[in-house]
């Protein structure tokens, strides 16, 4: 059987799961919920960078992104940070939708799949 590596695990989930050189990140949210969507998105992509690096990959290897916004009207502000973050790196297949968040202070959540 192939090895499955789970990191950042708690009773509910793992922050990252690696299997066959694919890295699956959990939905990542900001820690400082007092920030607006721009600030929260910056926190989220910084956390994604750290998780990707810890799993031996980076933004040039993104395959898929799922983005949930509390208010879809924040899409332009989130996209501005997204474009700055990715630069000219490969852009993943992506979905971006409005969603009810588990904590109403969360304005954005991003889930990533990447390869090594």
**How sure is the predictor about 2, in pLDDT bands with cuts at 50, 70 and 90?**
confident
Alpha-carbon span 26 to 78, nearest angstrom:
19
Give residue-wise pLDDT tens across range 61-92. Answer: 999 999 999 999 999 999 999 999 999 877 99
Model-level pTM? 0.96
C-alpha separations of 21 from 3, 5, 106 in Å: 10, 10, 31
C-alpha separations of 29 from 4, 19, 33, 68, 108 in Å: 24, 23, 9, 10, 6
């Amino acid at each position: 059987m192939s090895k499955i590596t789970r990191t950042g695990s708690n009773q509910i989930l793992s922050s990252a799961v690696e299997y066959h050189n694919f890295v699956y990140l959990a939905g990542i949210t900001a820690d400082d919920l007092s920030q607006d969507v721009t600030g929260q998105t910056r926190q989220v992509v910084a956390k994604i960078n750290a998780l990707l690096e810890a799993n031996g990959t980076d933004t040039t290897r993104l395959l898929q992104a799922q983005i949930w916004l509390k208010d879809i009207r924040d899409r332009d502000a989130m996209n501005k940070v997204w474009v700055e973050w990715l630069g000219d790196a490969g852009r993943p297949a992506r979905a971006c939708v409005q969603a009810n968040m588990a904590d109403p202070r969360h304005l954005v959540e991003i889930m990533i799949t990447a390869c090594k």
